[in-house]
Amino acid sequence: MERRQCLEMIYPELEDRLVVTIMGACAQELYDLGHRDNFFYLQHAMGLASSIGLGLALHRPEERVVVLDGDGSVLMNLGTFATLARYRPPNLVHVVFDNGSLLSTGGFDSQTTSGVTDLAGIARAAGIEHVAAVDTPMAFGEAMIEAFERRALSVVVARVAAVGPDHYGMDLHLPENAFRFRRWIGGRGRTHGICDPQASVAH
């Protein structure tokens, strides 16, 4: 199974959600499917996509948040599972694409390559109730349907091949992405009847 296939499967479901990805290959693959202003590609801050997602989910309980993470990134911030378990935002789906590799920076093995470190096991032991570990497109699709329908924090660890895009280059740098993402959320706030304090000072 390849991450690109997985992203293609869930792409239609991402239209109405706040999506945070890690940098590099995952961001590029999602961007290549078609950027939307509700997608935020977290550059530089490796490991913190789930922390950003947690903050969004807690701050915007009326929104549905999806984090698209990687094994190397999660391994840099393993405490994230304990924090997620502690706050249990019901509107957050955390997907970890485990390719056993730091693919975006040259394809070095991560600790999951050996099969010794079990990220789904760590998530469960941290106290997260709904954790799926999948390695086929069918199982991924089913796990994602359940996660999207469930009104509870869900983690999906998807074992994927260590392959990525054949090119890198997004015509969207971090500041512009962040501004547009924030504006999209602010606009939603108005349609959801929530007052965005910044909107009133924008003039």
Footprint of ligand TPP (CB under 6 A): 22-26, 44, 46, 70-73, 99, 101-105, 110
User: How crowded is the C-beta side of 129, counted as CA atoms within 13 Å?
Assistant: 11
Least distance in Å: CB of 139 to ligand TPP?
Answer: 20
- Identity of the residue, 164 or 189, whose beta carbon is nearer to ligand TPP in the bound complex: 164
Least distance in Å: CB of 30 to ligand TPP?
Answer: 11
Alpha-carbon gap, residue 161 to 4, rounded angstroms: 10
Tokens of 188: 């939603």
Residue 125 backbone dihedrals phi, psi, to 5 degrees: -65, -25
Angle between helices 25-33 and 3-10 (to 10 degrees): 40
| Helix H or strand E segment including 125 | helix 119-126
- Identity of the residue, 54 or 185, whose beta carbon is nearer to ligand TPP in the bound complex: 54
- Identity of the residue, 43 or 146, whose beta carbon is nearer to ligand TPP in the bound complex: 43
Least distance in Å: CB of 106 to ligand TPP?
Answer: 8
* Chain residue at closest Cβ approach to ligand TPP: 70
